[in-house]
Structure 1
Amino acid sequence: MAKLTNFVFCENDENFRSQSGVFSPLDIVEVNTDEFSLNIVFTVCDYSLLEDNTCRIIVKDPQNNDFFDTDFIHVPNDTPGSVDNKEVFMGFTLGVSFNNLPFKGSGFYSVEVLFNEEKLNTFHIPVTFLKEGE
């Protein structure tokens, strides 16, 4: 069964894309317009290459309504599913930027990570409106 081994909300995922540097983790998102951005990086491991695999990410607003869904992201199987008749298990790390999300009010926004339509975990981050001058 697939496992989610790490997850971080971060300021941006540029360091992930360039494969260098240090992430700046976020514990709160402060918004001063009607839109905001959210970046995540996570790792999924221990899934079989003998299956077609998908990943899906759903963002929920503070009222627990789905308001962004990546739909199915195909996870490539670039390696044979077995070696010497032993099943091969793999992992991947994914960085995702959610840009220009509509601000639906202050509160805890949630991110659900699903793999092959099975929920691996849900993570929450507070998003608050920052008044001008604060």
Structure 2
Amino acid sequence: MPKLSNFVYCEQTSPEENAIQSLNPLNVITIESAPGRFSFSVVFSLVGFNPHEEHDGYIVFADPNGKTVIETERFTLEKEDHDKKNPILTGVSMGVEFNNVLLEMPGLFRTDLYFDNEKIGEFVIPVVTREGVLRNE
């Protein structure tokens, strides 16, 4: 069963040779007012999957009411045909950018990660308005 070894919300990603750099990690998304638009990225690592089988996955970003804001296209990890590799040592890091996302309300938004049609992770991030922060709401 595959596992997530890390997950981070960030302002953007920068591909490096054989790696992905997450820039300006976020623990909250602040928009001017609601509704508002915001661009951000997520970076995550998957481990413990069989490299000799093809796998697919996708991400769902949902609002505080559970309504899907974004569902990504499926990504595919193609099988590897070289030497046998221990699945515990198999891993991949990925970055996904979400551009100009409409956030209709403040609250606790959720990102669900699916791998081979099974939900393997759920991560939340608060969305607040600048006005609410200034009023301490």
TM-score class normalised by the smaller sequence = 0.7 to 0.9
Alignment of 1:99-110 (within 5 A): 99-110=99-110
Give the corresponding residue for 2:5.
Answer: 5
TM-score by length of 1: 0.83
Tell me the SS of whatever aligns to 1:71.
Answer: coil
Alignment of 1:28-43 (within 5 A): 28-32=28-32, 34-43=36-45
Q: CA deviation at 1:4?
A: 0.4
The number of aligned residues is: 127
In the alignment, is the contact (CA less than 8 A) between 1:39 and 1:95 conserved in 2? Answer: yes
In the alignment, is the contact (CA less than 8 A) between 2:109 and 2:125 conserved in 1? Answer: yes
Q: CA deviation at 1:3?
A: 0.7
Gaps of 5+ in 1: none
The verdict on how the C-alpha distance between 1:51 and 1:108 changes in structure 2, with shifts beyond 3 A counting, is same
Rounded Cα–Cα distance in structure 2 between residues aligned with 1:23 and 1:42: 13
Greater CA drift, 25-34 or 35-44: 25-34
Rounded Cα–Cα distance in structure 2 between residues aligned with 1:67 and 1:99: 12
Rounded Cα–Cα distance in structure 1 between residues aligned with 2:100 and 2:8: 19
The verdict on how the C-alpha distance between 1:45 and 1:21 changes in structure 2, with shifts beyond 3 A counting, is closer
In the alignment, is the contact (CA less than 8 A) between 2:107 and 2:126 conserved in 1? Answer: yes
Q: CA deviation at 1:26?
A: 1.0
Gaps of 5+ in 2: none
Identity of aligned residues (%): 27
Residue among 54, 57, 67 paired with 1:55 = 57
In the alignment, is the contact (CA less than 8 A) between 1:62 and 1:104 conserved in 2? Answer: no
Alignment of 1:59-70 (within 5 A): 59-70=61-72
TM-score by length of 2: 0.82
In the alignment, is the contact (CA less than 8 A) between 2:53 and 2:78 conserved in 1? Answer: no
Superposed CA offset, 1:63-108 (max 9, x none): 111121013111133x316x3xx56422110011101111110001
Tell me the SS of whatever aligns to 2:26.
Answer: coil
Q: CA deviation at 1:50?
A: 2.7
Counterpart residue type for residue 106 of structure 2: S
Superposed CA offset, 1:50-72 (max 9, x none): 32200210000111111210131
Tell me the SS of whatever aligns to 1:102.
Answer: strand
Structure 1 vs Structure 2 CA RMSD:
2.2
